[in-house]
Amino acid sequence: MDFFSELTLMKKIVTETTFLRYDSLDELPEASKNLMKHAIQARKTAYAPYSRFRVGAAVILDDGTIVIGTNQENAAYPSGLCAERVALYAAASAYPGKIISAIAISAASDKGDTHEPIPPCGSCRQSIIEYEQRDGRPISILFMGEDGAVILSQSTKNLLPLSFDKNFL
């Protein structure tokens, strides 16, 4: 029996994800629009001299506190850190015990236009889901490019359906 014929004997696992798409920032509810505006402002101060790909993130805690982060590059790759993790770790460090409700992400390139929504990388998805699991509540994720459409995921599970967590350790 070859590899592909063995596949017919296996059971399929089907996952379903749902995202909401807003055609522009103006269509977002006011609280989400405000959070995304913080991410956009943060993006403008990203330290990205090598990739020239700037990312800003803004996290909102359950008490309304907003914490921002930007990507931080380093000539000694991979010593840099993504904006999402900078914001998450800053929030968790400065406000221990507070629950993260949502994160907004905006990305732009100095090399060309980024009009399509740009989701978080795999490492950031893993970090976000860790906080979801810790708090027992989903974290909404809003992401966009430099401008244009905004995608809303109501949980990291949409972006990382078969996630690794502490239960595997």
Catalytic annotation, residues: 84
What phi and psi, each to the nearest 5 degrees, are found at residue 19? Answer: -125, 155
DSSP the chain: --HHHHHTTSPP-------EEESSGGGS-HHHHHHHHHHHHHHTT-B-TTT-EEEEEEEEETTS-EEEEE-B--SSTT--B-HHHHHHHHHHHHSTTPPEEEEEEEEEETTB---S--PPPHHHHHHHHHHHHHHTS--EEEEE-SSS-EEEESSGGGT-SS---GGG-
Count other C-beta atoms under 10 Å from residue 155's C-beta: 18
The tokens describing 4, both together, are: 């592909």
